[in-house]
Amino acid sequence: MKSFSDLTEQELLALAISSEDDDARAYAGFAHSLMDTYPASAKVFMEMAEEEHEHRRWLTDLYAKKFGDYIPLIRRSDIQGFVRHKPAWTIGKMNIEEMRQRAEVIELENYRFYKQAAERSGDPQIKKLLLDLAEAEKGHESIAVKLGHTHLTADAKIEEGEAKRRLFLLQVIQPGLVGLMDGSVSTLAPLFAAAFATHDTWQTFLVGTAASVGAGISMGLAEGLSDDGKLTGRGHPLIRGLAAGIMTAVGGLGHALPYLIPDFWTATWLAIAVVFVELWIISWIRFKYMDTPFLKAAFQIAVGGFLVFLTGILIGSA
């Protein structure tokens, strides 16, 4: 690995060319991933990518004039002293703030590189171009903000905020709510059937735990495998599957845990109270995030929960 101080002017230009190309690709990748959800911010990154391409063209023209057409491939990872970043395409899905922060780091590093490279250059033309590029990067001190004045209008920011909210609803709230409803309601029948059939709190707890965990695994797999999110825009299947699976298990375990209490009727009345709390929470989530009137949501959930609860008691008492 070569030290920065050992680079020749030819190698400095070759490094600058590859760096500008890498940065342009990173910005273009950010823009591509944001195009559907955050079109205004995507346009910001596309302009940043185009500016990096323009810098690369200036560097390439000067390199060809000074050293010919062959440009050795020298990357920042080959030189000591540069921060080693993971390539943007290996990071996975970054959120919009992480992308903007990454862009700010890139601009700061490029400014420092061009300033130090210009100080080491003895060729007036190369030195001038490197200083010009340093000034261009310095002018980026808030390029996201500067370009944002052009593209991220108040309306665009509101739209992007709404898009982020919709994605959160689709990816976390909706599958989590479905899981909580399923876990809270569907496990009522086997739990209370076991309770009234055995009057044994420990056996009832085991049945409730098995039903809750089993339902959580089933719901998690069903949600995660239902679609990959590419066509529906519902987000990453792993996040949806975890949200649905965990909340399903939590919903069932909530009214299974009281049966750790040895006294049957104490455990049962506490479990019933927990069920009412669960149904209230579900109603509140539907009211808060799904724009469902609270009383309507509470009535719908209460009716469904009561029917399943009654079914469990009747079967268990038969």
Do residues 281 and 180 make contact, with C-beta atoms less than 8 angstroms apart? Answer: yes
Helix (H, G, I), strand (E, B) or coil at 152: coil
- Look up residue 55 and give its two tokens: 């810098």
According to the model, what pLDDT value does residue 81 have? 63
Residue 141 has pLDDT above 60, yes or no: no
**Identity (one letter) of the amino acid at 274?**
V
Average pLDDT on 290-297 reads 67
Residue with token string 């030290």 = 3
Largest Cα–Cα distance in the chain? 97
Please state whether the predicted TM-score (pTM) of the whole model is above 0.75.
no
112-127 mean pLDDT? 87
Cα Rg of the chain (Å, integer): 30
Q: Of the candidates 261, 256, 183, 264, which has an alpha carbon nearest to the alpha carbon of residue 216?
A: 183
Q: For residues 152 and 244, what is the distance between their CA atoms, to the nearest angstrom?
A: 34
**Max mean pLDDT range (77-86, 188-197, 287-296):** 188-197
- With tokens 């023209």, the residue in question is 61
Q: C-alpha 99: how far from its chain's center?
A: 12
Whether the per-residue pLDDT at 312 is higher than 70: the answer is: no
Of 30-44, 109-123, 256-270, 281-295, least confident by mean pLDDT is 281-295
Residue in 109, 58, 54 with CA at minimum distance from that of residue 81:
109
Q: Is the pLDDT of residue 59 over 90?
A: yes
Structure tokens at 289: 């995030």
> pLDDT-based confidence at 231, cuts 50/70/90?
very low
Could you tell me the sign of the dihedral formed by the alpha carbons of 307, 311, 317, 318, in that order?
A: positive
Question: Does the pLDDT at position 156 exceed 50?
Answer: yes
